[in-house]
Amino acid sequence: MRKVAMALVKPGEKLAKTIYGADGTVLLSAGIQLKERYIKRLKDFGIPYVYIEDSISEGIVVPDLVQETTRIESVRIMRESLKNVQLNGKLTSKDLKQIKKIVNDIVDEILYNKGVLIGLSDIRAVDEYTYGHSVNVCVMSTVIGIALGYNQLRLRDLALGAILHDVGKCKIPKELINKPGTLTKEEFELIKTHPEEGFNIIRQHDEISSLVAHVAYQHHEHVDGTGYPRSLSGKDIHEFAKIVALTDVYDALVTDRPYRKGILPHEAAEIIMASSGTHLEEKIVTTFLRNIALYPNGSIVRLTTGQVGIVVDQNRGANSRPIVRIIDSEEEIDLTKHLNVLITEVIEI
């Protein structure tokens, strides 16, 4: 299978992954042949991409760190809980219990799938940003935690802090959160209150570690002291918050928003690298970069030889050098064995 932008999907193509609507209901099931009106419906729902199975992508698997059902259930729980926070101003114990349970499932599944690189396999409607964002930040942060050798207890705290990092945004008017373009100084000052609001919401629950609340409080701090709300720097920022700071930025970069298209993983990786040592901690950046697929399976790439191919598999430890199947000849090139061949660009067909 491969991921194709909605604009390029043609009638007759076969859907490789089920598409779910905002409430978790099935919009279209995997295996179905796309008709003109289905394509229109998906576009109306704001679905930016679909996974299709065609002759060039045959047999290509896009592995996911967590099962699709777990991901959908987590998004549903986050949607429900965050809406309740918006209404009541606090996180209820019942909602927290559900969140803790799903976070533990996420951690267990990622531990089980150890070795799978962070890909880009979730498709969400553009208006679902906040909920999907929380879950993605949780998944990616857990992968970093595992790579840093955290035990299960630490991973659970990190993952819970990650999924709740933006809970304070529930206290800020929605129009402001989703406002495209630049914010006025006053608006930005208001946005800047969400880490402390989040801290206050989480710390009302003494059954969870205060570290979880500190992740929310510190996730916009920068290691060089230029972040907010307290301009903390270096060692004063907890490592959990440094991890979430990175995955938060990365997810925002690669995700499509109503006002701009997300950038590709290898482009986002460049930006993350450029922030190493200033906004982000070097050790966390290095660990993260070793654990993402820069060119996820199914990406169409052009090589320095001029050939165009599709990424069929990853090489762990050399994630800029995947295995590429050339489209015309079906020849497979393992880029770790052809060091003179590089990927020059990612194209869409």
Q: Is 197 in the site for Fe ion (CB under 5 A)?
A: no
Report the residue from 73, 157, 166, 281 that binds Fe ion according to the rule CB under 5 A. Answer: 166
Quickly count: other Cβ atoms within 10 Å of residue 197's Cβ. Answer: 21
Q: How far is the CB of 135 from Fe ion (least distance, A)?
A: 11
Select 122 or 166, whichever has its Cβ closest to Fe ion.
Answer: 166
Interacting residue with Fe ion among 73, 221, 248, 256 (CB under 5 A): 248
Name the region of 189 (left: φ>0; alpha: ψ -120 to 50; beta: rest): alpha
CA 260 to chain centre: 16
Nearest alpha-carbon partner for 238 in 267, 220, 255, 218: 218
The residue (of 64 and 248) whose beta carbon lies closer to Fe ion is: 248
Cα distances from 256 to residues 162, 205, 245, 253, 311, in angstroms, run 20, 34, 19, 8, 22
**CB closer to Fe ion, 227 vs 309:** 227
Per 3-state DSSP, the chain is made up of helix, strand and coil in percentages (nearest 5) of 45, 15, 40
Q: Find where tokens 């190493």 sit.
A: 276
* Candidate segments 52-60, 111-119, 233-241, 242-250, binder of Fe ion by CB under 5 A: 242-250
**Residue nearer to Fe ion on the CB measure, 64 or 166:** 166
CB of 137 to Fe ion, least distance (A): 6
Q: How far is the CB of 165 from Fe ion (least distance, A)?
A: 6
Site stretch for Fe ion (CB under 5 A), options 158-166, 180-188, 231-239, 279-287: 158-166
Interface region with Fe ion, contact rule CB under 5 A, candidates 77-85, 165-173, 254-262, 320-328 = 165-173
Q: Are 96 and 208 in contact (CB under 8 A)?
A: yes
Between the CA of residue 241 and those of 9, 65, 66, what are the distances in Å?
39, 22, 22
The least CB distance from residue 195 to Fe ion, in Å, is: 7
Q: What is the DSSP letter of 193?
A: T
Our CB check for Fe ion shows the closer of 52 and 157 to be 157
Q: Tell me the site size for Fe ion, rule CB under 5 A.
A: 2
* Residue 76 Cβ vs Fe ion, minimum distance, rounded to whole Å: 19
Tokens at 148, concatenated = 């840093």
Token output for 269: 């990786």
Q: Which is nearer to Fe ion, 166 or 281 (CB)?
A: 166
Nearer to Fe ion, 201 or 324 (CB): 201
Q: Assign 3-class secondary structure to 119-175.
A: CCCCCCCHHHHHHHHHHHHHHHHHHHHHHCCCCHHHHHHHHHHHHCCCHHHHHCCHH
- From the CB of 94, what's the least distance to Fe ion, in Å? 24
CB of 20 to Fe ion, least distance (A): 22
Give min distance, CB of 250 to Fe ion, in A: 10
| 9 vs 170 by CB, closer to Fe ion | 170
Residues near Fe ion, by CB under 5 A: 166, 248
